[in-house]
Structure 1
Amino acid sequence: MHGYDEDKAKVIARLRRIEGQVRAITQMVEDDKYCIDILTQISASNSALKSVALLLLDDHLNHCVRQASIQGGEVADEKLAEASAAIARLVKS
């Protein structure tokens, strides 16, 4: 079981909405829309992706990392390092 199991439908719905946004951006470029309007839509898509990422991270911390901390030892260390690396990637993006 993954940490996001309870939110899976919500995650999928959000990702499908983002997919539609990205298709719309492609259409805007094909239709020669104004640059700033395209950049605004790209920014909105990026924000939506970050929102999904934060939801998944929260689920991971509350499920996978919590379970590993109960087990302790190397399992806990591994999950904490994994979460830390994921947070670092999100901060850099």
Structure 2
Amino acid sequence: MAHIHDDKNAILVRIKKIRGQTNAIEKALEDGSDCVAVLQQVAAIRGAVNGLMNKVLEDHIRQHIGQIDLTKEERESEVEALISILSSYLK
């Protein structure tokens, strides 16, 4: 996935932020923080993960499925793989 390498630093920054958020939840639970604070952090993580998924998905569609030189079989294979991933993600 060449597009991952192109955006590697931006993607890694997003992942590091998500890691920081998950660490914050762990600390909040260990410290006995209020449920609302934990829920807000969970919601923030979900948004961050969705943003990461959106970025990688958009780049994938543009770079792989959107290529004009794909054969019909290659495009169908890419579409089926993407449908499988999205089905798993959206469960």
Common fold by TM > 0.5: yes
For these two proteins, the number of residue pairs brought into alignment is 91
Displacement, 1:83? Answer: 1.8
After TM superposition, give the deviation of residue 16 of structure 1 in Å.
0.4
Show CA shifts across 1:25-57 (max 9, x none): 100000000011101101101110010001000
Structure 2: gaps of 5 or more residues: none
Which amino acid is the alignment partner of residue 6 of structure 1?
D
- CA distance in structure 2 between the partners assigned to 1:13 and 1:43 by the alignment: 19
CA RMSD of aligned residues (A): 1.5
Other-structure match for 1:10 = 10
Query: What amino acid maps onto 1:82 in structure 2?
Result: A
**1: CA distance, partners of 2:3 / 2:81:** 14
Report deviation, 1:86: 2.5
CA distance in structure 2 between the aligned counterparts of 1:87 and 1:7, rounded to whole angstroms: 21
The alignment-based identity, stated in percent, is 23
1:48 paired with 2:48, answer yes
In 2, distance between residues paired with 1:53 and 1:75?
A: 23
Q: Is the 8 A contact 1:21 1:41 kept in 2?
A: yes
On the 8 A contact 1:3/1:62 being kept in 2, the answer is: no
The answer as to 2:19 corresponding to 1:19 is yes
Stretches of structure 1 that go unaligned for 5 or more consecutive residues are: none
Q: Is the 8 A contact 1:3 1:64 kept in 2?
A: no
Pair 1:76-2:85 in alignment: no
Residue in structure 1 matched with residue 30 of structure 2 by the alignment: 30
Q: Structure 2: which amino acid aligns with 1:42? A: V
Which gives a bigger RCO, structure 1 or 2 (Cα 8 Å, sep 6+)? 1
